[in-house]
Chains A and B, each alone.
Chain A
């Protein structure tokens, strides 16, 4: 019963700490990390008209975390006239992009000319390897059933040899991106990573194989860089307060643990 009460209090505290900044945002300042700046600069270095592959390999539940970086990144690409061929290797990836596209700045951009949605491909790394060699050998229609031959963008691209960059979302399949696209075609990989996946990606970042943005914080930084405040910057208050609560909890828990340990030593129980 005591444990139950502690759990309820902890959860209620977390809900309150998250709820207050949603209703009354504080606007805490944030700085831009080197990782996000690298991604931004790489996109800036691309030429207008360049084509990129983008795959959203994440589920609907992850939208609060990967949504802001996806929206900011695609907006940045569209502003620089970079064209996107999108597909997904997880079942919900297409849904995620469809949900987020209304938030992207798409003025003057046309489906089929500036971006194409190829939809879901099963097989993960195997599918990626096939898409790297030839899209048209694998599929003749896009996700909406349009013939690929009728889409102007698809006249300029068929495989990884025709693209300038590969972008993945989430980060769980990064090894596959590097093995099938990055190394064989000498392409840079950008991963709009979930924070949970980020530590596993740093060896690739250090090796210069991958550039990353980390979680919703990375999205917020990207929004600052492209000067378009959105959901990411709105989330940073909540994340900061939530983290303070967790850090406070860790310090509090450890203090209790050490206090009890000292007391036990005094009593000679240890």
Chain B
């Protein structure tokens, strides 16, 4: 393994541990690593963005695709926002971005996210030979109604609507619980990736051993020295 690659892995290990030091408390090491991560991310995105501008716009423009001058001028107009006199010009590219984005998103929303979902809520056949899928069909059809009733405040709150709304609330809680569980799974997997890197990737594992040894020595010192305990407390 080349020295540069090994050095990169060691830096990665040190930065990972610096980030995890936040678990103890907010500290300068964490803040350095945090700002470095944000800075690198922005730097990378900026470089890629510039590369994209050249690949998609400036290079074809140089090759004679003259129409590309329009998006280039529009994008340059975004920078007029920095002076008070020319600020109004920045509204044009923004309007085009928002208009195009909204128009495109609206194009298929009705079918993709409303009609298809409604049709899926009324499965056919509703009652099947399989008990579990019949129960599933009932849940899919009934629960959205209960949740809608909970959120509809336009009619008075009677005993029935209150009861049905309560079913809606419980259903939502089940849904949020499932989402939370999946979120934990995602975070756990990311933690796994880091722990595996720290324990098995050479030479990151040596950095980990050094840090763990330092923590053990400090813990022993903490318990043996009344002065250290007093300072922490």
Contact = CB atoms under 8 A, between A and B. Distances in A.
Contacts of A197: 182
Interface centre among A140, A183, A208 (most CB of B within 10 A): A183
A216 B189 contact: yes
A139 interface: yes
A92 B105 contact: no
Interface string B159-194: 000000000000000010011001111111111111
A61 interface: yes
Nearest to A23: B199
Given A195-B185, A216-B189, A243-B188, A8 B24 contact: yes
Interface stretch (B3-11, B86-94, B106-114, B145-153): B106-114
A242 B192 CA distance: 9
Contacts of B179: 196, 199-200
Contacts of B190: 61-62, 64-65
A178 interface: yes
Given A22-B196, A179-B109, A207-B116, A243 B185 contact: yes
Contacts of A23: 199
Given A178-B113, A207-B119, A138 B44 contact: no
A209 B112 contact: yes
A209 B189 contact: no
Contacts of B60: 140
B188 to A, nearest CB: 4
Interface centre among B24, B52, B194 (most CB of A within 10 A): B52
Given A8-B23, A122-B49, A199-B175, A64 B193 contact: yes
Contact of A239 (B100, B105, B189): B189
A176 B190 CA distance: 26
Given A18-B195, A120-B48, A207-B117, A176 B186 contact: no
A15 B195 contact: yes
B186 A180 contact: no
Nearest to B136: A206
Interface residues of B, number: 48
Contact of A14 (B108, B191, B233): B191
A7 interface: yes
Contact of A65 (B56, B109, B116, B189): B189
B227 interface: no
B94 to A, nearest CB: 14
A63 B59 CA distance: 33
A180 B187 CA distance: 30
A4 B116 CA distance: 49
Interface centre among B44, B183, B189 (most CB of A within 10 A): B189
A160 B183 CA distance: 32
Given A175-B112, A180-B108, A126 B189 contact: no
Given A8-B24, A64-B193, A199 B188 contact: no
B2 interface: no
Contacts of A164: none
Interface centre among B48, B116, B186, B199 (most CB of A within 10 A): B186
A194 B186 contact: yes
B116 to A, nearest CB: 4
B120 interface: yes
13 contacts: A19-B199, A64-B194, A120-B52, A125-B105, A126-B104, A209-B112, A214-B182, A215-B182, A215-B189, A216-B189, A235-B189, A238-B188, A243-B188
Given A196-B179, A243-B188, 17 more contacts: A22-B192, A22-B195, A62-B186, A64-B193, A65-B190, A121-B52, A139-B55, A179-B107, A195-B186, A195-B189, A196-B182, A196-B183, A215-B186, A215-B189, A216-B185, A239-B188, A243-B185
The 5 A-B pairs of least Cβ separation, nearest first, read A64-B193, A179-B108, A207-B120, A196-B186, A195-B185
Interface of B: 23-25, 44-45, 48-49, 52, 55-56, 59-60, 100-101, 104-105, 107-109, 111-113, 116-117, 119-120, 140, 175, 178-179, 182-196, 199-200, 233
Interface of A: 1, 4, 7-8, 11, 14-15, 18-19, 22-23, 61-65, 91-92, 119-122, 125-126, 129, 138-141, 175-176, 178-180, 182-184, 194-200, 203-204, 206-209, 214-217, 235, 238-239, 242-243, 246
